[in-house]
Amino acid sequence: MAVAAYAGFVGICISLLKEFNSVVPDPYMDEPFHIPQAQAYCRGEFDVWDPKITTPPGLYLMSFVLKQAFMLKCNVPMLRLTTLLPLLALPLVLTRLLCFYQRERPPSQILAPNLDAIVVSAFPIAWFFGFLYYTEVPSLLFVVGTVVAAMQNDHWLAGLLGLISCTFRQTNVIWVLYAYALSQLLYLQFRRPLPGAKPVGRLHDPPALTASLGDLVLAVQSLPSVILDILPPFAPYALVVGLFGAFVVWNGGIVLGDKSNHIPVLHVPQLYYFIAFSTAFGWPVLISGEGGVVGLVGDIWQRMFGGKLRILATTLITLIMGATVHLYTIHHPFLLSDNRHYTFYVWHRVYMRNPAPYLLVPIYIACGWAWFLRVGVKQTMLQTILLPVFILPTLLPTPLLEPRYFLIPYILSRAQVSDVPAWSLAIEGSWYAAINAATMWVFLYMPREGVGRFMW
361: closest CA among 319, 398, 402?
319
pTM of the model: 0.95
- The reported pLDDT for the residue numbered 95 is 97
428: closest CA among 122, 214, 149?
122
Assign 3 a pLDDT band (cuts: 50, 70, 90): confident
- The reported pLDDT for the residue numbered 86 is 98
Structural contact between residues 384 and 375, judged by C-beta atoms closer than 8 angstroms:
yes
pLDDT digits (tens, 9 = 90+) for 83-136: 999 999 999 999 999 999 988 888 878 888 999 999 999 999 999 999 999 999
Cα–Cα distance for residue pair 321/83, rounded to 1 Å: 39
Q: Which residues are CB-neighbours of 377 under 8 A, at least 6 positions away? A: 208, 209, 289, 290, 419
- The reported pLDDT for the residue numbered 194 is 67
256: closest CA among 54, 97, 119?
54
- 454, exposed or middle or buried, with CB in 10 Å at 0-12, 13-18, 19+? middle
Cα dihedral 114, 119, 123, 124, rounded to 10, equals 140
pLDDT digits (tens, 9 = 90+) for 190-249: 887 667 667 777 899 999 999 999 999 999 999 999 999 999 999 999 999 999 999 999
pLDDT digits (tens, 9 = 90+) for 424-441: 999 999 999 999 999 999
**Please, what is the average pLDDT of the chain?**
94
Q: Spell out the domain ranges in the chain.
A: 264-420
Residue 282: CA count within 13 A, CB half-sphere: 28
- The reported pLDDT for the residue numbered 196 is 65
pLDDT digits (tens, 9 = 90+) for 389-398: 999 999 999 9
Q: How far apart are the first and last CA of the chain?
A: 31
Dihedral sign, CA of 231, 236, 237, 238?
positive
Q: What is the mean predicted confidence (pLDDT) over 18-34?
A: 96
Q: What is the mean predicted confidence (pLDDT) over 307-324?
A: 97
What are the residues facing 207 on neighbouring strands? 380
- The reported pLDDT for the residue numbered 256 is 84
